[in-house]
Amino acid sequence: MNAVPMQGAPAGKASAADVQLVRSQGFPAMAAYQNKSDYPCQDETARDQHGDAQSVAGSFTRKGAKQRLVSVWYCGAANFNQYVLGVLEGNRLVAAYTVQGMNVHVEKFRDVNGNGTDDVIVRASYSGAGGMGGSAELADFHSGGLKSFGSFRTSDEVCPWYQGGDTEMHDDEYKIMVTPGNQPSFRQTIHRTECGSGLERMITGPVKGKPGFISLLKR
pLDDT of residue 50: 46
Name the pLDDT band for 47 (thresholds 50, 70, 90): low
Residue 25 Cα to chain centre, angstroms: 21
pLDDT digits (tens, 9 = 90+) for 111-123: 999 999 999 999 9
% of the chain beyond a pLDDT of 90? 71
pLDDT digits (tens, 9 = 90+) for 170-213: 999 999 999 999 999 999 999 999 988 889 999 999 999 999 99
| Annotated domain spans of the chain | 4-153+211-216
Give pTM, 2 decimals: 0.91
Name the pLDDT band for 62 (thresholds 50, 70, 90): very high
CA distances 166 to 152, 163, 193, Å, are 26, 8, 14
